[in-house]
Structure 1
Amino acid sequence: MRNAVVALILSLGAAAHVSAQERISVAEALSFLVTSQAVDTGDAARDRAAAEATSRALSRSLLSALATLPLTSSSSGFTYRFNPVLGTLERGSDSFGPFFVERAATAGAGRASLAVNWQYASFTKLDGMALRDGTLVTTANAFEDEAQPFDVETLALRIRTNSLTVSGVVGITDRLDLSAALPIVSLSLEGSRTDTYRSARYQQASASASITRFADLLLRGKFNVARGEWGGVSLGGDLRLPTGAEDDLVGAGELGTRGFVVFTGGTGAVSTHFTAGISRGGVSDGVDFGTAVSVNPAAHVTIAAELFGRRLDLGRLEQVIAPHPALPGVETLRLVEAADHTTQTLGAVGFKWNLADAWLLSATLTLPLNQSGLTARFMPSASVEYNFGR
């Protein structure tokens, strides 16, 4: 009887090797890999719905990771304020500030800076499930009395990004900054889908796609509402313009807005920073937070440690098991989308070095602190900033 069941499943779900070789978008390549199913579960409608939901969840996770890449703080490394007693500008802080978390200090009236930031990521997990080693099970059939499935489909994905972000800050007044940041993202995706029946492996599908495109343009305004030797408080707002390509998962496809508040404690060699924000539109509605400590061990060096995260209204992927509708004693596992929030938390550590006059060099290492969403083992970044009129 068991052999007959297996034979029936194989006859209904025989796999053929297919490959996507033509130039396709990243979203199309991902959808092709997820929906190329061969394992027969006896419920084609549920399989199709699960595959489409999985494709959407993967696309949103990748889009969330790329379209909202952690951008370096819009605050200039050099900040100034007007001293009414002396009638001159003076440094607003001894610190060059953190990397990703905003600080309350502004650049100063008429001050401007230009920065270029590079960041690399090789994503290895999605909601805690490994992506690269071919162990991500999308569909499987198993007998109830056997620990391992006799027919299982797995997905392997290699997703890598290199991004170069050009940003600039202008001090409109002593308390108001306007800034902009435009990321250029180089994304490559390679994947394969494999069916394994009783230890015999058959590759069902393979696909690859690579692009280099502009991502969404970020515009930011920040106003300092209070300041002193104790630190400062600022309010700000973001606009993310949909300049990125949604089909290639580097653009949200719609306008995103964000409002935030920043608190900085201290203006000397040691300072603390906290920010909180609310986002609407774009990839997803959500909230975010960030905190940082920056220390100056020397006059021209700042070392900072940061903790920041976000909670987005995105679903997550999970594996569920249900009885096979047509075959007694057989259970089917599917990878499906669960309605839930995604909370991602990251940590970063690095340094900023005033290497010459108005030049500021920085290097950072960012690590995921939980397994939510699309994560990399680590993300290195480096930037160079030039301050005009220093």
Structure 2
Amino acid sequence: MANPYSNFTKMVILAYLSILPTQSMARDLNEIIPSLYGGDGVTLEDNPFFSHSAHFAQDSLENLQELAETLSDFSQPSLSSIVGLTFEFDPILDEFVQTTSTQSLGSSLTERPQTGGKGVLTFGIAYGHTKFSELDGRDLDNLTVDLGHVDTGPNALTCLAPGFPNPPPADCYRFIDDVVRLTLNLDITQQFISLSTNYGLTENLDVGFHLPILHTEVSVSSVGSIVNDPSIVFSPIGGNGSVHNFDPVNEDSPFSSASGSHTGLGDLFIHAKHHFYHSEKLNLGSFFQVRLPTGDEDNLQGIEDVGGKAMLLADAIFPLNKGTLTPYLNVGIEMNTSNSGQEKLAYNLGLEYDVISGKHHTSVAIDFMGRNTITNKNDSCNEKYDLGLGIKYALTERGSVYANIILPVNDSGLRPDVTYLFGVNWTK
């Protein structure tokens, strides 16, 4: 597994290169898998007596295209709009100071109701690394796709016996039940640098955005094999008895591979947050986000049309030993207006513990993140659950650094073993 620390420098360079005008003849990443075996489907040996060369081509085209569409259903981790301390303007000191209420640094993955403060500007940069390893619980390095024989005409021979009688006897070789099995080894990796900012319009209203710069790599290799129907023992044909064979010289080899990568801007996220209720213990807020399709959908770096999110935010603060314990909740709806989009129930549950010792402020957090499909316009996964573990440290009163890992809880859809996330936030 690639070291995420060593990849950071590479991503900074790629981020710069991504904003330069480029021209490339390489295929889009969503075409990598369908391009296997020449892009026209699996073509077998052209037997002059029983030609079955193209009888699996259509099914291979459909299956590989469907697999490519399934694998395109992934996105980067959702980052909270502000992670750090909150401020208010002190007219006597003529500067922004920390609010006097109990402070928490906030989760990097879940929104908190509190806003930054009127006139407070916060910047952030985060780096993430994800290497996908499973699709619906199946390992990507040993993924099998079975291709079925094309349907034959009403009078076509579907079973062979000695003498080739038509209709054949019961004991015959049902070649129509043969299968071409593709064993795929897929490698899908995505790295991103996310640039963000947040500004307090009022004491209780923040606006901001974040924009990821993405580097996505896809590679696939395939080994094809013929899985003959057990009735091949009745085949009247010499050799291995099969009418289906690969022909590396004249047609397709059983081995095929393709790869590609793309660096570019992802979708732009614009948000607003309103902190509408606060007391000594409880805080409530609302969060609205619009996702603009600035990323390249064909290169797995964006969605087709506008998306959005509306969330209710809540947290409560309890003193505990030398720190504070903060449980929090986000619940709402995520929307995607494209033809293949979904509406999802989105919710985050979390717990944060902050410890302040002198000038040192450290927090640890655990987040449970769920996404359940409400309406589904395609066959993508219906539910995803993740667990986030994070630590944050306040470098100064105005800056903090954080690190998170995100672990999948279930195996629905395209999933990694772990996602790494590192970031810095600074308040001006």
- State the match for 1:288 in structure 2: 346
Contact conserved, 1:76 with 1:107, CA < 8 A, in 2?
no
- State the match for 1:322 in structure 2: none
State the Cα deviation string for residues 333-390 of structure 1 (Å, max 9, x = none): xxxxxx46521111011111012342201011110000011111001111011111xx
Q: TM-score, normalised by structure 1?
A: 0.77
Among 357, 366, 377, which residue is 1:305 paired with? 366
Runs (5+) with no aligned partner, structure 1: 1-20, 317-338
- State the match for 1:137 in structure 2: 145
Larger strand share, 1 or 2: 1
State the Cα deviation string for residues 260-280 of structure 1 (Å, max 9, x = none): 100111165111110012122
- Cα distance in 1 between the residues matched to 2:33 and 2:390: 34
Distance 1:258 1:57, change over 3 A: same
Among 196, 214, 217, which residue is 2:225 paired with? 196
State the Cα deviation string for residues 58-104 of structure 1 (Å, max 9, x = none): 33x2xxx23xx2122102411135799xx986244421011111111
Among 250, 260, 263, which residue is 2:314 paired with? 263
- Cα distance in 1 between the residues matched to 2:112 and 2:57: 53
One-letter amino acid matched to 1:358: R
State the Cα deviation string for residues 213-259 of structure 1 (Å, max 9, x = none): 10000001010110011121101211001110111110102111211
Moved more, 46-55 or 225-234: 46-55
Equivalences, count? 334
One-letter amino acid matched to 1:241: L
Contact conserved, 1:114 with 1:385, CA < 8 A, in 2?
yes
- Cα distance in 2 between the residues matched to 1:261 and 1:287: 12
Distance 1:130 1:287, change over 3 A: same
- Cα distance in 2 between the residues matched to 1:89 and 1:31: 55
Q: Give the 3-state SS of the residue equivalent to 2:84 in structure 1.
A: coil
- State the match for 1:170 in structure 2: 199
Larger radius of gyration: 2
One-letter amino acid matched to 2:354: N
Q: TM-score, normalised by structure 2?
A: 0.70
- Cα distance in 1 between the residues matched to 2:173 and 2:102: 66
Contact conserved, 2:41 with 2:60, CA < 8 A, in 1?
no
- Cα distance in 1 between the residues matched to 2:115 and 2:372: 27
Contact conserved, 1:81 with 1:92, CA < 8 A, in 2?
no
1:75 matches 2:82: yes
1:348 matches 2:394: no
Q: Give the 3-state SS of the residue equivalent to 1:271 in structure 2.
A: strand
Q: CA deviation at 1:128?
A: 1.1
Distance 1:49 1:227, change over 3 A: same
- State the match for 2:116 in structure 1: 107
- State the match for 1:32 in structure 2: 35
The Cα RMSD (Å) is: 3.2
1:23 matches 2:26: yes
Q: Give the 3-state SS of the residue equivalent to 1:253 in structure 2.
A: coil
Contact conserved, 2:207 with 2:272, CA < 8 A, in 1?
yes
Q: Give the 3-state SS of the residue equivalent to 1:32 in structure 2.
A: helix
Contact conserved, 1:120 with 1:379, CA < 8 A, in 2?
yes
Equivalences for residues 88-127 of structure 1 within 5 A: 90-127=99-136
- Cα distance in 2 between the residues matched to 1:91 and 1:373: 45
- Cα distance in 1 between the residues matched to 2:396 and 2:31: 47
Distance 1:267 1:224, change over 3 A: farther
